[in-house]
Amino acid sequence: MAPDTLHWSDERAEIHKVVVGPYENNVFVLRCTETGDAVLLDAANEHERLLELCRHLGVRKVLETHGHWDHIQAVPAIRDAGYSVAVAGPDVGMLPSYDEVLEDDAVVEVGRLRLRTMLTPGHTPGSMCFKLEGAPVLFSGDTLFPGGPGNTEKDPVRFAQIIEQIDTKLLALPPETIVMPGHGADTTVGVERPSLQEWVARGW
């Protein structure tokens, strides 16, 4: 076990976090403490470090939040080591290879834990967030950060899309929900919700 990576825990779950690569990508491992089963979110970079984490924590599969290159650099090495990689359908073409397609509003079982998938297009067509059922935790990928939405490259259609997803799905969660993004620090729904109209007004 690598206790220095522990980021959050309750009586059922542990979340471990490492930061990898030149873009300082957050990689999370969600582990069921009762069964020892775990999943890794985003095989971003530094594959040897991630494989060591997988072995330490009992990871069985990898879930990708989206297909941007900085989030998938370790995918080939992770798959070669025998781990299954899953990604939402609209982003499958962005990955060098994959094993499973994630559907919207489905459940990924991690031991006794349940991760609910939330398709939130805008940053990419297949951007996916994951809500831990029964706990105040949301893995938001690059859809929502402290201070606003992920980059939509000044495309008004994509920006409208990401704002709609954030407004109707993410900010509808309880205010105490901890948002764990693909880069940077955690935030909460309660902290971000009051700024929505400000983001709309600025256009990014």
Domain boundaries, the chain: 3-202
Selected from 3.50.50.60, 3.60.15.10, 3.30.450.20, 3.40.640.10, the CATH number assigned to the domain covering 3-202 reads: 3.60.15.10
Confidence of residue 73 (pLDDT cuts 50, 70, 90): very high
Strand partners, 180: 139
Mean pLDDT in residue range 30-39? 98
Confidence of residue 1 (pLDDT cuts 50, 70, 90): very low
Give the separation between CA 186 and CA 140, rounded to whole angstroms: 10
Sheet holding 113-119, edge to edge: 107-110, 113-119, 128-132, 137-141, 178-181, 187-188
The SS3 of residue 133 is: coil
pLDDT of residue 3: 53
Strand partners, 59: 38
Give the separation between CA 40 and CA 125, rounded to whole angstroms: 21
Mean pLDDT in residue range 78-95? 98
pLDDT of residue 189: 98
pLDDT of residue 58: 97
Task: Kindly give the pairing relationship between strand 84-88 and strand 59-63.
Answer: parallel
Q: Has this prediction a pTM greater than 0.85?
A: yes
Average per-residue pLDDT for the chain: 97
